[in-house]
Amino acid sequence: MTTQRITIDPITRLEGHGKIEIFLDEQGEVKNTYFQVPELRGFEVFCLGRPAEEMPRITNRICGVCPEAHHMAAAKALDDLYKVDPPSAAKKLRELFYSAFYVTDHTTHFYALGGPDFVVGPDAPAAERNILGVIAKVGKEAGLKVINTRKHNHEVIKIIGGRAVHPVAGLPGGMSKAINEEERQFMEKVARDNVEFGLWSLQIFRDIVLANKAYVDLIVGDTYTQQTYYMGLVDQNNKVNFYDGMIRVVDPDGKEFAKYRAQDYTEHIAEHVEPYAYLKYPYLKKIGWKGFTDGKDSGMYACTPLSRLNAADGMATPKAQEAYEEMFKTLGGKPVHHTLATHWARLIELLYAAERMLELATDEEITSPNVRTIPTETPTVGIGTVEAPRGTLTHHYETDENGILTKVNLIVGTTNNFAPITYTIKKAASSLIHAGNVTDGILNMVEMAFRSYDPCFSCATHSLPGQMPLEVVIFGPDGTVVDHREQYTT
Amino acid sequence: MKTLVIGLGNPILSDDGIGIYTARRVQELLPEESPIEVIEVSVGGITLMEHMVGYERVIIIDAMWAPADQAGQVHVFDASNLPETLNTRSTHDADLPTALRIGRELGAKLPEMHHVQIVAITANQVLDFCEELTPAVQAAMPDACTAVFRLLSIPASSVEQETK
């Protein structure tokens, strides 16, 4: 039988190379979709035989988007590997650093990547759906705030991390250096500005997105809704935490399904392999892999800002908690299954990161010189987990008695979401493409489904950021190219 | 002219590190009292643009993907001739030309497009984790250094002598 094939290759505004293929039947309805990413070769092999303590410095080179997340996960894996507990000031310093990173990362996503879909409009010309379009709509003030927020938080990251972009300060047992009072004062000021920026960004979301009925209908519509399990790190009160805690999974009804230590991840997570994709699809082992389908019987889970808010009982800071309550109240209670609400959740997380940063920057212990516990144990196995902006990030190392790596396994944020992203694309395409009618606007709306995940395949496939140009190819029923679309961000 | 030299690339991705290694060599060859600053950067987009703020001229040394039989050539052009970029196009923010436009529109002091000069070394093996350059790309490093020094208006002959 003949089918029509549509390819979106790679996808605009996401990190790394991705390719969507949509197969249409003779009636022009969606028959199937495939989502593929290529792979860089040999990262694990590259690491084997090296001293484990190099990992915080090597893994942060995997990608230019979230080197800080890899640095933290690696440092925590080394704590575990050398069985050493960092002093409390070191943990606070790491979390302060990590909060500043979250502010920059979530800011970039909202204003440059996901935000344009809403702020500028989902069917606006591709050339306008970018950060410049956002600036044109919201005003130059927005652009300046974005640039300044990034700049100041990058300075914080540089001071604590010891180097711009690719930090070096995380060591087994803590940090290589403390901060002084002058640096602390600067960080406190940046944190206060961040809180204002977080509140201002949420107001933009209310004014532009929530005040527009068409956007709200889009968010809560069936096209972008899927019922999966949700995962996220939580603190001792089951509140969202990015740096440390237990991994909590809730079912599609919002009930706690599992809560476990990062070190026990292999008891809970297994990986499914498809012949056409390099990435593996993690799923909940105790439910099992049931294919790309949602609901309680499917082991598919999501791990995004929205998932983290679904998986927790609230936010640990007051203003973020208010915003959290507002979101769930507006969208009809917990859990929220509307993928596009992830953009809202991301802004709530941004506000939480800002408030948490302020708490830490004003903590009297934060300038303590006691930031390192020297390891004395013989290393064997170390597993460290943080919440990266794009999902739970786990580094798993095994070494010989000299600390030389014999095994390396990284489960990165986007990997967790590979199955739900694939499912989302299929659902959105099936819902939007009919009778072979494919426009730029429709293709962008298919892309919006997964852009809300802020997917970053660069390190999921152990690749680099921004590897590929972006284009869309559409194939006719006989497999030949009938249309060629480019959806560039510039 | 306040000038910055940026070595761009990833030193753990084989030939993608050529920009970084060349920048290190340029730094070694510059006179100690030289006002020219040399940095290493492994990111693109807005972050890359942010590094350029306050400079009148920027020279970016970077790998440029090419088929294997064309690896190891040195090309010099400026940012106004930059149609699309590979590693400097971070889709998590913006590609380099867009980032420069954003910076300018927001009033950041950035070099003119023709003063953002790119020394590109063609390279094929940029997707494998490895800390070594392939021989063809390694062999292009002296020419790349020479190209940088020509742009800096430092007599190429003296540098060529040293780089070879």
Do A151 and B94 count as a contact with CB atoms less than 8 A apart? Answer: no
Domain co-membership, A136 together with A25: no
DSSP state of B87: T
> What pLDDT shows up at residue A481?
55
* pLDDT under 70: residue ranges of chain B: 83-94, 155-164
**Touching check for A489 and chain B: CB below 8 Å?**
yes
Instruction: Taking residues A265-283, report their average pLDDT.
Output: 85
Do A112 and B101 count as a contact with CB atoms less than 8 A apart? Answer: no
Q: What is d(CA A327, CA A330) in angstroms, rounded to the nearest whole number?
A: 5
Do B12 and A61 count as a contact with CB atoms less than 8 A apart? Answer: yes
> What pLDDT shows up at residue B48?
85
Give how many domains chain A has, as a whole number: 2
Nearest CA in chain A to B102: A132
Domain presence at residue A461 = yes
**Touching check for A48 and chain B: CB below 8 Å?**
no
A134-186 pLDDT, tens per residue?
777 888 788 788 888 988 999 999 999 998 778 999 999 999 999 999 999 99
- Beta-bridged to residue A397, according to DSSP, are A382, A408
SS3 call for A22: strand
Domain presence at residue A450 = yes
Using a CB-CB cut-off of 8 Å, the residues of chain B touching A469 are 84, 86, 89
> What pLDDT shows up at residue A470?
34
Mutate to test the interface with B, among A105, A467, A488 (most CBs of B within 10 A): A467
Do B106 and A108 count as a contact with CB atoms less than 8 A apart? Answer: no
What torsion, rounded to 10 degrees, do the Cα atoms A259, A263, A268, A271 define?
Answer: 140
Considering only CB atoms, B97 lies closest to which of A108, A469, A490, namely: A490
Query: Where in the sequence is the domain holding A199, given as residue range(s)?
Result: 86-224+338-370
pLDDT at residue A1 greater than cutoff 80: no
Domain presence at residue A351 = yes
Last residue of a domain, one of A370, A385, A411: A370
> Which residue, chain included where needed, has tokens 């497999």?
A479
- Which of A432 and A103 is assigned the larger pLDDT? A103
Nearest CA in chain B to A64: B43
Q: What is d(CA A54, CA A289) in angstroms, rounded to the nearest whole number?
A: 36
CA atoms within 13 A on the CB side of A312: 30
B79-104 pLDDT, tens per residue?
887 755 444 333 455 677 878 887 88
Domain co-membership, A352 together with A215: yes
Domain presence at residue A288 = no
Stated length of chain B: 164
Domain co-membership, A130 together with A213: yes
**Contacts of residue A127, Cβ cutoff 8 Å, sequence gap at least 6:** A488, A490
CA atoms within 13 A on the CB side of A330: 19
A196-221 pLDDT, tens per residue?
999 999 999 999 889 988 889 989 99
Domain co-membership, A343 together with A199: yes
User: What angle (nearest 5°) sits at the alpha carbon of residue A111, between those of residues A107 and A112?
Assistant: 105
Domain presence at residue A212 = yes
A101-113 pLDDT, tens per residue?
999 999 988 887 7
Contact residues of B toward A, CB < 8 A:
10-13, 16, 41-47, 50, 84-95, 97-98, 101-103, 105-108, 127-130
The amino acid at A289? W
Look up residue A17 and give its two tokens: 């190379």
Domain presence at residue A125 = yes
Domain presence at residue A129 = yes
Q: Which of A79-93, A364-378, B62-76 has the lowest mean pLDDT?
A: B62-76
What's the distance, CA A319 to chain centroid? 22
Instruction: Name the nearest CA neighbour of A186 among A316, A96, A104.
Output: A96
pLDDT at residue A223 greater than cutoff 80: yes
Do B44 and A41 count as a contact with CB atoms less than 8 A apart? Answer: no
> What pLDDT shows up at residue A466?
30
Q: What is d(CA A338, CA A228) in angstroms, rounded to the nearest whole number?
A: 11
**Contacts of residue B25, Cβ cutoff 8 Å, sequence gap at least 6:** B141, B145, B163
Q: What is the CATH number of the domain that holds A118?
A: 1.10.645.10
What torsion, rounded to 10 degrees, do the Cα atoms B124, A451, A306, A212 define?
Answer: 160
Structural domains of chain B, with CATH: 3-159 (3.40.50.1450)
User: What predicted TM-score, i.e. pTM, was given to this entire model?
Assistant: 0.87
Considering only CB atoms, A140 lies closest to which of B13, B41, B106, namely: B106
A14-29 pLDDT, tens per residue?
444 567 778 888 888 8
pLDDT at residue A464 greater than cutoff 50: no
Q: Which of A117-131, A227-241, A419-433, A462-476 has the lowest mean pLDDT?
A: A462-476
Domain presence at residue A75 = no
Binned at pLDDT 50, 70 and 90, residue A380 comes out as: very high
SS3 call for A274: coil
Domain co-membership, A16 together with A156: no
Do B91 and A113 count as a contact with CB atoms less than 8 A apart? Answer: yes
Last residue of a domain, one of A370, A394, A411: A370
> Which residue, chain included where needed, has tokens 């990058």?
A154
Domain co-membership, A216 together with A349: yes
